[in-house]
Structures are given as C-alpha cells and as structure tokens.
Amino acid sequence: MSSYLRIRWAITPKMAPRPLINCNRCGGTKAYQCSGKFRVNANGKRIDAWLIYRCIDCDNSWNFGILERCNRRDIEPDLLQGFESNDPALARRHAFDVVALRSRTGRIEEFPEVAVHKQRLGDGPKAATALELRLALETPTSLRLDRLLAGELGISRSRLQALEQRRSLSVDSDGAKALRKPVRTGTVVRIDLFSEPDRQAIMTAAGG
C-alpha cells in the first residue's frame, strides 16, 4: 500500500487576460491591458465605476464597466474606497474576471504562465512512495493540467500519460482526459511513484 506525501499547490496566474478591442486610433483589433486604475463617476447619489484598460500600441483607453448607476447607499464603503484609491487587489480581482471580460468584448487573450507556492500538509511519512497534490487557484487559468505537472515536477507529458495508463496517476475531477483540460481549483492529483527510479527527485520538485 502506498504511503502519501500530501502537498498543497497554491497557483497564481502571472499575467491578466487582455481583451481584444477595435482601436479607433490604430484602426484595427488590438490587445488592451489593465492599467490598474479605476475611474469613478458620481452623479448625485448614483455611482459608476470602470477599470481602465490601455491599448498596448497607442495607449488609447477603454473602460471596463464594474458599476453602473448604482445607488451610493447600496455600495459597501470599503468597496467604494477601493475604487477611489485604485486598490491593487481590487483591480487584480476584476482584471482576472474572464467571464465578465468576455461578456463585454467577446474575445480575450489569455496567458498560461503561473506561479506555484508549494506547502506540505502535515509531517508526512518518512518513506513516502506516492504524492497527493491538492490544487488551489487564486483565479481561473487556461494552463492545462499536464503542462502544469510536467513543468513543476520536471518530467515529460508523455511520461505523465504513461503513468495514467498504468493507473499510477489519477485525477479527482469531472470528466475524462483531465490531464488535457485547464487546471481547476479543488483538483486532487495522486501519483504512485513506488516503481520510479527518480522518485525522490520528483517528490522534492513537488515540494516535499
């Protein structure tokens, strides 16, 4: 019976998605990037708030609507303060809202690069022969699970597929072919490394 070393991977996308918008200055479709700045407009008791984007070529602006004609008393004071002070965490949260961006523009450019913070869960057995990886995402990413595992564990994607075919690798997630799908928060990956000659190197790379 395999003894598991359990590790949590906290995954953070490095670059926010960029909406693809028709730029009236450049005369064609261009990628716009988040400026990290909000624009807030108050008309009496009504508040509008936008996150400002800039064309990567000419710096033309585009406003991503966050609030529209909202009554001031319905807005949390801390939230309104965040808009007015250009709170970085608030800007990041909205900049990574892929669903909202796509609903406004139709097309977006996504980036798969992520940072992974690895934390052992408990002491774990001294002679562990298997890994249990618990994945947590700050925001959604387009990065495929097999690419994430291959890059972080230092092994090839074909080897991951071979481990899966031998039933030495399993993924707790919905649907088949989970390795080829984007990483999802809450996913648990189990890899039995008992027969692998580089078991220790893989465990160390995983965060063990």
Q: Please write the tens of the pLDDT for every residue from 91-115.
A: 999 999 988 999 999 899 998 899 9
The predicted model gives 139-151 an average pLDDT of: 91
- Identify the weakest region by mean pLDDT among 9-23, 115-129, 151-165, 193-207: 115-129
Domain that holds residue 102: 18-109
Q: Based on the domain organization, do 27 and 78 belong to the same domain? A: yes
Give the residue from 87, 109, 131 where a domain finishes: 109
Give the residue from 88, 109, 130 where a domain finishes: 109
Question: pLDDT tens, 123-143?
Answer: 766 678 999 999 999 888 889
pLDDT score, position 175: 58
Amino acid at 106: G
Contact 191, 150 (CB under 8 A): no
Q: Based on the domain organization, do 167 and 128 belong to the same domain? A: yes
Q: Based on the domain organization, do 120 and 137 belong to the same domain? A: yes
The predicted model scores a pTM of 0.78
Strands lying side by side in the sheet with 114-120: 114-120, 4-13, 130-137, 188-192, 169-172
DSSP state of 144: B
Give the residue from 51, 86, 109 where a domain finishes: 109
Question: How many domains does the structure of the chain reveal?
Answer: 2
Q: Based on the domain organization, do 102 and 142 belong to the same domain? A: no
Q: Based on the domain organization, do 175 and 93 belong to the same domain? A: no
Q: Based on the domain organization, do 172 and 143 belong to the same domain? A: yes
